[in-house]
Structure 1
Amino acid sequence: MTYARLKKLIERGAYEKEDMLNKLDVFLMANRITEEQYQELVGMMG
């Protein structure tokens, strides 16, 4: 669920990069997303 929502936000460009990176770090540490999902989402941001 978290992954899908984050992916939609990133695809729409509805984020600030530094803020989104911080959120992704927190979600990764809290085991809300996997390492693979984290890498994919960071890669999508360029």
Structure 2
Amino acid sequence: MDTITLCNTCKRLIKRGRTDGLAKKIDIFYAAAKLTDEQYAELTEMLNKKTSA
């Protein structure tokens, strides 16, 4: 799976509210170099906004 597809899948999950355990998975994807710095920052920001709302 390329980084764009992975990022889009994570975005879709966040938008649908399916965030259980997603923060940990995003961290793992980032550590495994499956996400770029920009994608990681965008996803964590989206996730933080969604979970705090």
Same fold (TM over 0.5): yes
Identity score, percent: 36
Give the greater-gyration-radius structure (CA): 2
Shift of 1:21: 1.1
Question: What is the TM-score normalised by the length of structure 1?
Answer: 0.82
Of the three residues 23, 26, 36, the one matched with 2:25 is: 23
Number of residues of Structure 1 aligned to a counterpart in Structure 2: 44
Runs of 4 or more, structure 1, over 4 Å off, are: none
Question: What is the TM-score normalised by the length of structure 2?
Answer: 0.73
Question: 5+ unaligned residues in a row in structure 2: which ranges?
Answer: none
